[in-house]
Amino acid sequence: MPEGHEVLTEDEQHLARLGYTQELSRSWSGFSNFAISFSIISILSGCFTSFGLGWNNGGPAAIAWGWPIVAVFILLIGFCMAELVSAYPTSGGLYWWASKLGGVKAGFYTGWLNLIGLIAILASVAYGAATFVDLTLGVYFSSWKSGDLTTIFIMFVVILVAVALINIFSGNLLSLINNVSVWWHVFGAAAVILILFLIPDHHASVSDVFTKTINNTGIFEGKTSGAGFLFYVLPMSAILTQYTITGYDASAHLSEETKGASGAAAKGIWRSIVYSAIGGWLLLLSFLFAVQNADDVSKGGGAVATIITSALSSKWAGLVLLISTFGQLFCAAACQTTASRMMFAFSRDGGVPGHQLWSKVNKNKVPANAVIATAVVAAILTLPALVPVDINGAPVPVAFFAVVSIGVVGLYLCFAIPIYYRWKAGDSFEAGSWNLGSKYKWIAPLALIEIVVTSIIAMFPTSLGGMPWDPSFAWKYVNYTPLLIGGALILLFLYWHLSVKKWFTGPIRQVAGDEVFDTTAASGTTSANDSSADGATV
């Protein structure tokens, strides 16, 4: 090793070969890396807050059967991403992968779709948490008037501020929160399942849970049969699963802060999906079996809170809501982390206007400006939630569901780009220590098909009032996902051709190739080039 050069760890060598110096603190364990993805998936968040998407667009049968089916396809997507992060463990994650495999333009679009998706997920989780704080207070304090949209929005902003401050000023606390969050989700979900199976005097029948269908959209006259229901209404229930089991790319975004990242981040992705899929299905089944009256749930907009408060006493209902609320708050903190890390990494390479500001880290090695920026944009994105909306006489959070769909489309489209280019690369792809072997040949195309189909579904109008050609049309009913995603893509297209392509070069290299030194002789560790260091394949 040349004299005067510091010894690099194996992780730092791998990062240096990708072109970056170790700016962020590499203090996260493999468990912490898994924990943040598991926390962001958060079955205590998605299963509770987006339950209405499944109930109103298919009913119990759509949820009971749809969740495990969609979850299998999501796992295939996760396997593809695990292979990519093992080869390229950088904070830029998908953006970096797309740039490496598909070129600068592919990376640019991937980076922006990822950033939009992550901010939308942050917004939806924080707003869902605010809703459940409001519901919980209503159960415990009879004088509290739940449901005021202005109050909920203020709570939403307070939550964004709180998780931003935690992210900026206390990295150790954040890591602790993510570790605690795992066990809160495990034991909290188990407690909710047991409560809903043991406490209610009445439970729905197996037939009600697995065969009952519902169409509360008003579309196709509310019919639960025929081609319209099967190919338009019912597919929208898949967004419940697709939204809940997302955000697992957090393991990639935190890979520069994770020890043994090539193996640990890959495992963090697919393990968080598997455990969430199993736990989420059991949780949803407990909701469905606890239904006392399906019509009352529909009148309540398909909200889980209606099931809980009708099946349980106020004491038990309050406990269930409290467990979910804390899970959602943990999730919001993790979402803030991953959104800010993506903005930091993309800005580090000059991909975001004002990139010098967003790529700056504070004395605690945290991209504080990126944290603030993502929180502010999340608040702005959710402003339509201040407008009250009723569909068929039931209160339905159309704006919340729209933000959910924006997150799903933004994230999954950006997942598709590097997966496609890895598939196209074939056997020339330089796999990391965790890889799919030859199985990528069939796993990748199935993953891509699922992403395209789900992204199209997420843009469907969710009610008659959201269809421009219907007499009942009003802007407050509109699923504004295609407007925002489509508008963003048009702006990005113009931005690219008018400016970006003239100066943007994609991932920068902070480290030249001859600055990377093998530490094998100095430390006795295995070189990062040796794929047998964590030789896992599936």
Q: How confident is the model over 434-465, as pLDDT tens digits? A: 999 999 999 999 999 999 999 999 999 888 88
Q: What is the mean pLDDT of residues 258-263?
A: 80
Tell me, what's the pLDDT at 20? 65
Q: What is the mean pLDDT of residues 506-513?
A: 66
Residue 294 sits in a domain whose CATH number is 1.20.1740.10
H helix or E strand, kind and range, residue 27: none
For residue 89, what are the CA distances in angstroms to 100, 119, 271, 426, 534? 12, 22, 17, 20, 14
3-class secondary structure, 537: strand
Cα Rg of the chain (Å, integer):
23
Identify whether 217 is part of a domain. Answer: no
* Residue 497 per-residue DSSP state: I
Tell me, what's the pLDDT at 509? 66
Identify whether 188 is part of a domain. Answer: yes
User: What's the number of domains the chain is made of?
Assistant: 1
- pLDDT of 521 strictly over 60: no
Q: What is the mean pLDDT of residues 257-280?
A: 89
Q: What is the mean pLDDT of residues 482-508?
A: 89
- pLDDT of 64 strictly over 60: yes
For residue 69, what are the CA distances in angstroms to 46, 81, 248, 458? 17, 19, 18, 17
Q: Where in 330-398 does DSSP place strands (E)? A: 390-391, 394-395
User: Sorting pLDDT into bands at 50, 70 and 90, what band is 304?
Assistant: very high
Identify whether 174 is part of a domain. Answer: yes
Size of the chain in residues: 538
User: At a CB cut-off of 8 Å and minimum separation 6, what does 439 contact?
Assistant: 79, 538
Domain of 399?
Answer: 30-210+224-430+441-506
Q: Which of 292, 288, 197 is nearest to 240 (CA)?
A: 288
More confident residue, 3 or 64: 64
Core vs surface per residue 81-106: b (16+ CB within 10 A) or e: bbbbbbbbbbbbbbbbbbbbbbebeb
- pLDDT of 279 strictly over 60: yes
Q: How many other CB atoms are found less than 10 A from the CB of residue 183?
A: 10
- pLDDT of 530 strictly over 70: no
- pLDDT of 519 strictly over 90: no
Identify whether 43 is part of a domain. Answer: yes
Instruction: Catalogue the long-range contacts made by 447-452 (C-beta closer than 8 Å, 24 or more residues apart).
Output: 447/73, 447/76, 447/77, 447/79, 447/80, 447/415, 447/416, 447/419, 448/416, 448/419, 448/420, 448/423, 450/70, 450/73, 450/74, 450/76, 450/77, 451/77, 451/412, 451/413, 451/415, 451/416, 451/419, 452/416
Tell me, what's the pLDDT at 89? 85
3-class secondary structure, 367: coil
State pTM to two decimals. Answer: 0.86
Distance CA 420, CA 101 (A): 9
3-class secondary structure, 61: helix
Tell me, what's the pLDDT at 5? 53
- pLDDT of 239 strictly over 90: yes
More confident residue, 147 or 414: 414
Distance CA 159, CA 489 (A): 30
- pLDDT of 119 strictly over 50: yes
- pLDDT of 515 strictly over 60: no
Q: What is the mean pLDDT of residues 244-261?
A: 83
More confident residue, 255 or 48: 48
Tell me, what's the pLDDT at 522? 33
Tell me, what's the pLDDT at 274? 96
- pLDDT of 516 strictly over 60: no
Identify whether 231 is part of a domain. Answer: yes
Query: Which range in 2-16, 189-203, 385-399, 464-478 is most confidently predicted, on average pLDDT?
Result: 189-203
Tell me, what's the pLDDT at 92? 67
Identify whether 274 is part of a domain. Answer: yes
Q: What is the mean pLDDT of residues 489-515?
A: 81
User: Nearest 5 degrees, angle CA 199-CA 40-CA 433?
Assistant: 125
Maximum Cα–Cα distance for the chain, whole Å?
Answer: 78
User: Sorting pLDDT into bands at 50, 70 and 90, what band is 11?
Assistant: low
Identify whether 219 is part of a domain. Answer: no
For the chain, give percent helix, strand, coil, nearest 5: 70, 5, 25
Tell me, what's the pLDDT at 2? 46
User: Sorting pLDDT into bands at 50, 70 and 90, what band is 418?
Assistant: very high
Identify whether 532 is part of a domain. Answer: no
Q: What is the mean pLDDT of residues 141-168?
A: 91
More confident residue, 524 or 18: 18
